[in-house]
Amino acid sequence: MEKIFILLKNLISFSLFQVLHFFFKRKDQNQNNILLIHTAGLGDLIYTYKIICNLEKIRRYNFFLIVKNEHKGLFDDYRRNFRFIFLDYDKYRFNIIYRLNFIKEIRTYSFTKTFQLNHNRRIVDDDLAIHSGANQIIAFNKVEEKFPKLLRNRLDSYYDSIIFDKPLDIKKKTDFFLKEIFKINPLLKNSIPLNEQEKIKSVHLKVGNIMTEEYIVINPISTAKIRDWEFNQLNEIINYLIEKFDFKILFIGAKKEFEDLDQYSIDGNRIKNIAGSTDILESFCIVKYCKLFIGVDSGFSHVAKFYDVPRVLKVGGGPFGLMFTKESYSRTSEKEKLLFHPLDCFGCNWYCIYKEPYCLTKLDTSTIINSIEAMLN
C-alpha cells in the first residue's frame, strides 16, 4: 500500500512538472550568473560550504544559491561573493501560485548555468533546475532507482549533463565538481562564517551558562524517523552516563523535537533539553565545544564531524558510502566511532527491505557504551 501511495504521489508531481515545462522554456542567456540549487538537509549544506568557499574567489561569475528557508540562519554571518535565495520548500510543493512566482523570480536573473547539487534528487528540485531558464542545466546525480524507470529516464533527459552516474562519497563528489567543472584545486579546509563570541553570549542569554562546564551533547532524532534512537536503549545509555561521569548532558534538536527529547530529562540538575532554544549557528558553537557528541545520522552529527569533535554515531547502513565513506565504517579513529550492525543490504538509502532497520535495532547497547567509554577515557 505504501509503494502504491509513493507511486501515485510521484505521478502527480511529475504531471505538474510536465504542465509547467510547457510554459517555462529555456532562454538565450548572455549573463555571467550561475545558479546552484541545494535544498537538502543541514549535513549536506556543511559540505556545500566547501563549494562556496572555493567558488567565491572566482570573480568572473555572479553566484546564486537556493536553499530552504529553515537553513537561512546558516548564512547569517556570510558577507562575501554569493547571493542566497531562500525557498519555502513545502509551500513550493503545495501552493501553485507560490511555485509560479518563485520560478518567474529566478528566471529574471538570466542564469547561464544551473547546477542541481542535491544527492537525492526529488521532482521539486528538478522543477527548480529545469525551469530556471538557464542555457546549461547540470545535475550532480541521476534520479534514484526507486523512481519508476520511465519517469526517471524522462527527468534525466532534461539535463544537458549529469556529472555522476555511480555512488561516490560526498567529499569526492565535491572535490571532483570543483576540479573538473571550475578548474580549481579545492582548499583543504572549508570554513563557515561564525561570529563565535557573539553566538556564545547569545547562548548564555537564551539558555544559561551551559558552556562554562564540561558537557556531552546528545542528538538522537533526525529528519527521518527510521534513523532515530530507540527510547529504551538511549535511556539506558543516559543512566550509565549519569552514574559513571560528572559531565552535564545537553539535548539539541529542532523546536518540534522538544517534547520527544523532554522524556529523557530524568535528572534536572545534570540534563538540559535545549531543542529549539538556539538558532543554527548558536547550536554550532554548542557542538563545537562539547566533550563528546552522541547522535544518529543527522545534520548535527556532521557539525560534530566538521569541528572534529569526538563523536559516537549510530548510523546503520542506509547512507553507506555517501555522507560517511565506506572506509570510515571499518577504520579505527580516535575521534569518530560509527556504530552499526553489519548487513548485506548496506547502501539502501533507508528504503528498508525488512520490517525494521536491523542495522540499527540489532546494535547491542553494551557495544555503544564501550565506544562512549573509550572516547571519554
**Predicted pLDDT at 28:** 61
Q: Quick check: helix, strand or coil at residue 240?
A: helix
**Predicted pLDDT at 153:** 86
pLDDT digits (tens, 9 = 90+) for 158-175: 999 999 877 678 888 899
**Predicted pLDDT at 5:** 53
**Predicted pLDDT at 166:** 72
pLDDT digits (tens, 9 = 90+) for 244-283: 999 999 999 988 888 888 887 767 788 999 999 999 999 9
148 exposed, middle or buried (CB, 10 Å; 0-12, 13-18, 19+)?
middle
Contact in structure between 110 and 33 (CB atoms under 8 Å): yes
**Predicted pLDDT at 11:** 62
C-alpha torsion angle, residues 192, 196, 200, 203 (rounded to 10): -30
Contact in structure between 35 and 125 (CB atoms under 8 Å): no
> In which residue ranges of the chain is pLDDT below 70?
1-30, 145-147, 167, 188, 266
**Predicted pLDDT at 351:** 83
Instruction: Provide CB contacts within 8 A for 16, sequence distance 6+.
Output: 96
Cell of 35: 545558479
| 3-state class percentages of the chain: helix first, strand second, coil last, to nearest 5 | 45, 15, 40
Beta pairing partners, 301: none
C-alpha torsion angle, residues 207, 248, 366, 295 (rounded to 10): 30
Cell of 229: 534512537
- What domains does the chain contain, in order, with CATH numbers? 2-181 (3.40.50.2000), 196-376 (3.40.50.2000)
For the whole model, what pTM was predicted?
Answer: 0.87
Contact in structure between 235 and 262 (CB atoms under 8 Å): no
2 exposed, middle or buried (CB, 10 Å; 0-12, 13-18, 19+)?
exposed
Closest CA to 37 of 134, 104, 181, 108: 134
Query: How many residues are recorded in the chain?
Result: 377
For residues 173 and 176, what is the distance between their CA atoms, to the nearest angstrom?
A: 5
